Each structure stands twice: as structure tokens, then as C-alpha cells.
Amino acid sequence: MSRLYPDAPRVGVSVLCHRNGQVLLIKRGKAPYKNHWSLPGGLVELGETLLEAAERELMEETGVTAHLGAPAETFDSIQRDADGTVSAHFILTVFCGAYQSGNAEPGDDASALEWVAPARLDERLTTPGTPDRIRRLLAR
């Protein structure tokens, strides 16, 4: 299944993992949004629940685990070319949770990672809506 110029939306997950007032961000290593900072996440695999996908993606991309509860938010991420052609369409469900264990190191699709204070989010090139989403979900 192609992520770029798909024939249907792709279902994915993101994880807002927090610790000591900071959130874990990854720098995307692949398109779309290569080199943008984002929450760790990825596509749901066949036969996998949303929660299982969130746990797997967090581990694959960061090497950490978190106490994840019910989904916190679901949203569409749709990108279009200049002519209006859909170049990417993801339906993403975000999970939030406190850091549990593991040594945070970039893996899988992440080229880098950092624990970042919410006040410093606007200093980074991020995927669309990421700073506002993080602040909103942490305030809950």
C-alpha cells in the first residue's frame, strides 16, 4: 500500500509520550514531512488494534514504552499537489501517556529524537498542527 498518491486513506496512530513536563518528538526520516519534528507513530498493520499499533510504533521509533489509555483524538491529514491531486491521506488516532521505560534512541523511520518542553515547540519545523495538538492534549 502506497503512502504517497494512495488509492484510499491510510489508518495510522501517533503517541504523545510525556515525562517531567516534556514530550518525546521524533524527526521524520521519510516523506511525507521528511525532516519535520512530529509525534512518533505510523500505520496500523492488518489484525492490529489501534492501541497495539501505538505501542509498537512508539517502541520501534523511540525504544520506549508509555502508559497509554484510550484514544485522545482522531484527525485527518490530507496533502494535495498544486493541481489538487491528493498526494497523501492519513486518518490518525493520537494516544497520550506517561513515559514508562526504555532508553530513548531513534529507530525505524526516525532520524533523531528529543524530549522537548511544550514552550519550545514553536522553535522547530513540525508537522502541521503538532504544537497546538500537544498543548491541547497536555492541558486535559
The structure's pTM equals: 0.93
* 116 occurs within a structural domain: yes
* 81 occurs within a structural domain: yes
Q: What is the DSSP string of 16-55?
A: EEEETTEEEEEEE-SSSSTT-EE-SEEEPPTT--HHHHHH
* 5 occurs within a structural domain: no
Check whether the bond before 118 is cis (ω within 30° of 0): no
* 38 occurs within a structural domain: yes
Q: What is the DSSP string of 44-95?
A: PPTT--HHHHHHHHHHHHHS-EEEE-S--EEEEEEEE-TTS-EEEEEEEEEE
Domain span at residue 77?
Answer: 10-138
140 residues of the chain, pLDDT tens digit each: 788 899 999 999 999 999 999 999 999 998 778 999 999 999 999 999 999 999 999 999 999 999 999 999 999 999 999 999 999 999 999 999 999 999 999 997 899 999 999 999 999 999 999 999 999 999 98
**Closest residue by Cα to residue 37 from 138, 132, 135, 131:** 131
Residue type, 112: A
Contact 100, 67 (CB under 8 A): yes
- Identify the CATH number of the domain in which residue 115 sits: 3.90.79.10
* 2 occurs within a structural domain: no
* 1 occurs within a structural domain: no
* 26 occurs within a structural domain: yes
* 112 occurs within a structural domain: yes
Number of domains in the chain: 1
